[in-house]
């Protein structure tokens, strides 16, 4: 982990009742799902800045595999693999909306629309 990432993690504090977030924070492995699980917590301005930097890196790392897996998950629709991928997509959308990453949000919303088209129960 580089010095900048170390700094970002050092600025973040554990949040009460956010076990998954806290575990990922301790192990310095925050992902979009962990970040999304804590977005309703209270953050200082310094924490928000650090968390947004970590979020950008997490989205960059996770978006390619997620979009590829959504394509794979379409066959057959609505199996366990599909459900996991849609959940991860929803979590990434929460993070991107929270940090106002508009370009990526449009891509994820389109992926959500295309992937779930005709699959609503």
- The better pLDDT of the pair 73, 3 is held by 3
**Averaged pLDDT, 83-98:** 93
Q: What is the mean pLDDT of the chain?
A: 90
Residue environment code for 65-91, b if the CB has 16+ CB neighbours within 10 A, otherwise e: ebbebbeebbeeeeeeebeebbebbeb
The percentage of residues in the chain with a pLDDT greater than 90, rounded to a whole number, is 73
Annotated domain spans of the chain: 3-116
Whole-prediction pTM = 0.86
Report yes or no: 60 and 89 within 8 Å, Cβ to Cβ.
Answer: no
pLDDT band at 121 (very low <50, low <70, confident <90, very high): very low
């Amino acid at each position: 982990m580089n010095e900048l990432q170390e700094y970002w993690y050092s600025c973040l504090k554990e949040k009460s009742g956010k076990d998954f977030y806290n575990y990922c924070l301790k192990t310095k492995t925050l992902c979009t799902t962990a970040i999304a699980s804590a977005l309703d917590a209270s953050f200082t301005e310094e924490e928000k800045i650090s968390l947004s930097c970590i979020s950008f890196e997490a989205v960059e790392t996770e978006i390619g595999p997620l979009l590829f897996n959504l394509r794979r998950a379409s066959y057959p629709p609505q199996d366990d693999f599909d459900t996991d991928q849609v959940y991860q997509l929803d979590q990434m959308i929460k993070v991107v909306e929270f940090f106002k990453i508009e370009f990526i949000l449009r891509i994820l919303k389109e992926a959500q629309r295309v992937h779930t088209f005709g699959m609503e129960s």
